[in-house]
């Protein structure tokens, strides 16, 4: 109940607090039609009466001159446009009321919809080749009007090594043992497309996913990322399903058909014998010499048997006990399924937790997460691990997400949340969690986690909201 109340409070938008009027400013008076005074007589002194004086003049009974002066008809001036509430006025006698909130606008201000992120200058496309050995084709395109320098990195599946790399690429080893990625340093001309290719060793009976990203010259800020999975020739061919055997070779169908025929035959026999009984009785009476059937002996109407009270009460008690027991057992199992220490979380969370590997698109309640790369700084103490993550909003509404909900689990079972300050620096000072994501939009960004120790994170947990089950990505 406490968690649901916190979620409701977080979902209700906070009302803006009206700031008091700054000192020294006055509110505009109500706009009234102005009256044009007649021209004064020569030698007379003209004085404009203030609002209190005009009220006192109307209240006091002054004698009317015996010879009224003829005046021209009054001319009504056009109504002036109202000034903003914060604009100072020059009207005398206006007072400032400190602490009084300003009046709400006559027309409600619509909520500003979230804008989709701008299109990156460099886009990446990855596609698997239809070859017996795993091979990938990477297309990097510069849509801008200026040349762009970029670094393209392709993550290799665990346990594989490259067998062929296009010119300019080099393999990077992890600690001098396994090859983890292939890197190209490119300078893309304006409005051009560059095609790269890699071939890796095959792992029998297993699909291989190899994502690729184009980074800026610093090597951490991604322009765009893409992924592709090589399935192999055997899995790509369409298998022909075996046709079902005929009906007479299916024992279950034969038994069901014979059982149905037996039921129909018994029902027909019972109906024929029931109709034959009155005819047999009439023939028997005719044989004894009776033309008309003898009247039947009146019999008492059959009594309707009512169930005994001693039978109803136990049955009702058993049904009530069974219902309560079933409800208690179901509630106990659902409550036991909510385990805060286990991963993935399930039970009371919205949706079902999904697990996958690096490069696989994983969908949860609102977002589709794809982890393309996880790289950690060398060292033993506190160090930073940057995860290149693609986020796509699959809902028709804008969605918010929070940095504290994104976690990196370590080998000892502990987890750390996103380092929001380091993540902001990696995104050139932009807070990626400050504004919601627009409907149908996609962005690729680095998430930075600060971990302790030499071991990198073993799993990433990403989710869109507090009640979402989220996705879990295994880090090799």
| 93-145 pLDDT tens trace | 444 455 555 555 555 555 567 788 888 999 999 999 888 889 999 999 999 99
DSSP string, 51-109: HHHHHHHHHS-PPPPSSPPP-PPP-BPPPPPPPPTTS----TT----TTPPPPPPSSPP
Determine the pLDDT at residue 451.
92
Return the closest-CA partner of residue 166 out of 193, 191, 136. Answer: 136
Read off the tokens for 291. 């033309």
Determine the pLDDT at residue 357.
93
Residue at 302 is within a domain: no
Read off the tokens for 283. 């023939």
Determine the pLDDT at residue 367.
94
Distances (CA, A) of 366 to 333, 363, 433, 459, 471: 27, 8, 15, 21, 11
Q: What angle (nearest 5°) sits at the alpha carbon of residue 274, between those of residues 269 and 277?
A: 125
Read off the tokens for 392. 């796509």
The C-alpha atoms of residue 207 and residue 214 are separated, in whole angstroms, by 24
Residue at 150 is within a domain: yes
Residue at 238 is within a domain: no
Which residue, of 210, 231, 252, is where some domain finishes? 231
Residue at 438 is within a domain: yes
Which residue, of 200, 231, 262, is where some domain finishes? 231
Classify 236 as helix, strand or coil: helix
Residue at 145 is within a domain: yes
- In the chain, the number of structural domains is 2
Determine the pLDDT at residue 285.
55
Classify 275 as helix, strand or coil: helix
Residue at 468 is within a domain: yes
Residue at 386 is within a domain: yes
Residue at 331 is within a domain: no
Structural domain boundaries enclosing 177: 122-231
Determine the pLDDT at residue 173.
76
Determine the pLDDT at residue 229.
93
| 78-99 pLDDT tens trace | 444 444 444 444 444 444 455 5
The C-alpha atoms of residue 399 and residue 438 are separated, in whole angstroms, by 7
Return the closest-CA partner of residue 385 out of 415, 350, 357. Answer: 415
State whether the Cα torsion 340-341-346-350 is positive or negative: positive
Determine the pLDDT at residue 180.
83
Which residue, of 195, 215, 231, is where some domain finishes? 231
Task: For the chain, count helices (H), then strands (E).
Answer: 6, 20
Determine the pLDDT at residue 307.
63
Q: Which residue has the tokens 């297309």?
A: 139
Contacts of 210 (CB under 8 A, 6+ apart): 126, 134, 136, 154, 155, 156, 157, 198, 200, 227, 228, 230, 359
142: DSSP letter: E
CATH number of the domain at 140, please: 2.60.40.1510
Determine the pLDDT at residue 90.
43
Q: pLDDT of the chain along its 476 residues, tens only? A: 787 787 777 666 554 444 444 444 444 444 444 444 444 444 444 444 444 444 444 444 444 444 444 444 444 444 444 444 444 444 444 444 555 555 555 555 555 677 888 889 999 999 998 888 899 999 999 999 999 999 999 999 888 889 999 988 998 876 555 678 999 999 999 999 999 999 998 877 788 999 999 999 877 789 999 999 998 765 444 444 445 666 656 666 767 777 777 777 777 777 776 666 665 555 555 555 555 555 556 666 666 666 666 667 777 888 888 888 788 777 776 666 555 444 444 444 777 789 999 999 999 989 999 999 999 888 777 899 999 999 999 999 999 999 999 999 998 889 999 999 999 999 989 999 998 999 999 999 999 999 988 888 999 999 998 888 899 999 98
CATH number of the domain at 419, please: 2.60.40.1240
Read off the tokens for 244. 């079902």
Size (the chain), residues = 476
Please check whether residue 425 is in contact with residue 380, taking contact to mean a CB–CB distance below 8 angstroms: no
């Amino acid at each position: 109940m406490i968690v649901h109340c916190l979620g409701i409070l977080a979902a209700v938008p906070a009302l803006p607090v009206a700031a008091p009027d700054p000192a020294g400013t006055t509110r505009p008076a109500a706009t009234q039609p102005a009256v044009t005074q007649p021209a004064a007589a020569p030698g007379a002194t003209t004085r404009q009466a203030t609002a209190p004086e005009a009220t006192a003049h109307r209240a006091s009974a002054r004698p009317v001159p015996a010879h009224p002066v003829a005046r021209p008809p009054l001319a009504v001036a056009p109504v002036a446009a109202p000034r903003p509430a914060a604009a100072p006025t020059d009207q005398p006698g206006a007072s400032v009321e400190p602490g009084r909130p300003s009046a709400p606008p006559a027309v409600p201000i619509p909520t500003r919809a979230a804008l989709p992120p701008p299109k990156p200058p460099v886009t990446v496309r990855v596609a698997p080749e239809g070859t017996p050995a795993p091979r990938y084709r990477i297309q990097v395109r510069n849509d801008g009007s200026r040349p762009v320098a970029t670094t393209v990195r392709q993550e290799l599946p665990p346990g594989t090594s490259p067998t062929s790399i296009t010119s300019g690429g080099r393999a990077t080893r992890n600690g001098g043992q396994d090859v983890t990625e292939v890197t190209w340093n490119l300078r893309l001309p304006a409005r051009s497309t560059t095609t790269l290719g890699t071939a890796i060793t095959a792992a029998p009976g297993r699909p291989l996913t190899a994502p690729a990203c184009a980074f800026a010259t610093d090597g951490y800020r991604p322009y765009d990322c893409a992924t592709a999975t090589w399935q192999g020739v055997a899995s790509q061919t369409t298998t022909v399903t075996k046709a079902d055997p005929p009906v007479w070779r299916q024992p279950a169908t034969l038994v069901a058909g014979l059982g149905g025929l037996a039921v129909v035959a018994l029902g027909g026999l019972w109906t024929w014998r029931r109709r034959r009984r009155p005819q047999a009785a009439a023939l028997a009476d005719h044989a004894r010499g009776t033309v008309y059937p003898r009247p039947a002996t009146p019999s008492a109407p059959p009594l309707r048997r009512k169930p005994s009270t001693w039978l109803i009460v136990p049955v009702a008690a058993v049904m009530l006990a069974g219902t309560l027991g079933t409800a208690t057992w179901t509630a106990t199992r659902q409550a036991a399924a909510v385990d805060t220490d286990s991963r993935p979380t399930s039970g009371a969370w919205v949706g079902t937790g999904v697990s996958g590997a690096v490069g696989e698109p994983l969908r949860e309640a609102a977002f589709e997460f794809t982890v393309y790369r996880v790289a950690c700084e060398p060292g033993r103490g506190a160090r930073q691990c940057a995860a290149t993550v693609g986020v796509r909003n699959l809902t028709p509404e804008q969605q918010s997400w929070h940095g504290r909900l994104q976690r990196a689990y370590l080998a000892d079972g502990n987890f750390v949340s996103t380092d929001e300050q380091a993540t902001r620096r990696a995104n050139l000072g932009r807070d990626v969690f400050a504004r919601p994501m627009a409907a149908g939009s996609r962005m690729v960004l680095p998430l930075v986690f600060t971990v302790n120790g030499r071991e990198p994170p073993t799993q990433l947990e990403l989710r869109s909201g507090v009640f979402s089950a989220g996705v879990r990505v295994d880090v090799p």
